[in-house]
Amino acid sequence: MALIVVGAIVLATVVIGSNGDDVATGPAAEITVVPTVVEGAIDSSNPIPTIGVASNAEALALEAPGWWQVVNVEQGLNVRAEPGTGAATIGTLTAGSRGVYATGERAAVNGGEWKQIRLGDTLGWVSANFLSPDDGPAAAPEPDSDEPVSTVAATCYQGLDELFMRTVQLDIDGGSFEGLIRIDRAGEPAVYETAAGLLPPGRSGSVEIVVTNTATNRERVESWRFGPSLLTLAQEFDTSAVSCQAVAALLP
């Protein structure tokens, strides 16, 4: 009896990734964080792992930190823990988001450039193919006539924790500021507070701020911590710098 052995050929289909494009495929969840409005929701009870560069990523030369906006996407742009579409998604920037703050760190994956950005109180990576330069927080206007020009510059911040969304606008005049805070909680009316104080040297560090509830007129003193693109309220509520234009509808 002859034994016939038939060999089986297994065909494997290999899917090759794109050159770094990382457009979200589902509806983008609003973070309303930013610089950016930085938008999308993050579960603060699940800490984000330490940011690093993926093994298949090539570090690129540093560039100056700056502000960007999301362009050429319809449903949103994924923010990942590391550069590359294979890394974990930690948030989403909605289409048209402005005031996205990039740290200057860059990496190349499969020929596509990725930029490191600040998302709330953590860092993430997005495809540079869908970013365009943005103005960022408003700067003091330049005089164009002999008329007196105000030196007040508005800087805005926004942050989301487990219960509240906080939107802040600070009108900075030299070394001091006055500000308005809006606090939102699902199903409840917005709460407004005012704030006033002196900026820390170099706008970096902690200072004592007088905060007043506009409904009750009750005052309290809080410690605020200023950073390059972060503002921490009462030493525990992190907010990120965003474009004031993006949050103008929230503040009277």
Q: Does residue 236 form part of some domain?
A: yes
In a domain, 74, yes or no: yes
pLDDT score for 137:
59
Model pLDDT, residue 151? 58
* Same structural domain, 123 and 177: no
* Per-residue pLDDT in tens (0 to 9) along the chain, 252 residues: 443 333 332 322 323 334 445 666 654 433 333 333 333 333 333 333 333 445 578 888 888 888 888 999 888 899 999 999 989 998 888 888 888 888 889 999 998 999 999 877 678 999 999 999 987 654 444 545 555 544 578 888 998 877 888 999 999 888 889 999 999 988 899 999 999 999 888 888 899 999 999 999 999 999 999 887 888 988 888 898 888 888 888 888
Identify whether residues 104 and 159 lie together within a single domain: no
DSSP run (H or E) holding 247: helix 244-247
240 and 191 in a common domain: yes
What is the per-residue pLDDT for 202? 80
CATH number of the domain to which 80 belongs: 2.30.30.40
Tell me, yes or no, whether 103 and 70 share the same domain: yes
135 burial via Cβ count (<10 Å: 0-12, 13-18, 19+): middle
Residues 181 and 124 in one domain: no
- What's the pLDDT tens digit per position in 201-217? 888 889 999 999 999 99
* Among candidate residues 133, 163, 187, the one where a domain is terminated: 133
- pLDDT at residue 113 in the model: 94
Residue 224 lies in a domain: yes
Q: Say if residue 221 is in the same domain as residue 171.
A: yes
pTM, entire model: 0.45
- Give, in order, the Cα–Cα distances in Å from 15 to each of 12, 80, 147, 205: 10, 20, 64, 49
Q: Is the dihedral of CA 77, 113, 130, 247 positive or negative?
A: positive
* 179 and 237 in a common domain: yes
Q: How many angstroms separate the CA atoms of 219 and 156, rounded?
A: 22
In whole angstroms, what is the distance from residue 77 CA to residue 28 CA? 8
Specify whether 170 is located in the same domain as 240.
Answer: yes
The answer to the question of residue 50 being in a domain is no
What total number of domains does the chain contain? 2
Residue 15 lies in a domain: no
Task: Tell me the residue range of the domain where 69 lies.
Answer: 58-133
Same domain, yes or no: 161 and 109: no
Inside any domain, residue 18: no
CA dihedral 181, 184, 190, 193 (to 10 degrees): -20
Domain's final residue, options 72, 103, 133: 133
Q: Are residues 90 and 161 in the same domain?
A: no
Q: Is residue 99 part of a domain?
A: yes
Q: Are residues 245 and 201 in the same domain?
A: yes
Q: Is residue 179 part of a domain?
A: yes
Side-chain-side CA neighbours of 23 within 13 Å: the count stands at 12
DSSP character at residue 235: T
Q: What pLDDT, on the 0 to 100 scale, is given for residue 227? A: 83
Q: What is the pLDDT of residues 14-55, one digit of tens each?
A: 233 344 456 666 544 333 333 333 333 333 333 333 334 455
The pLDDT assigned to 189 comes to: 92
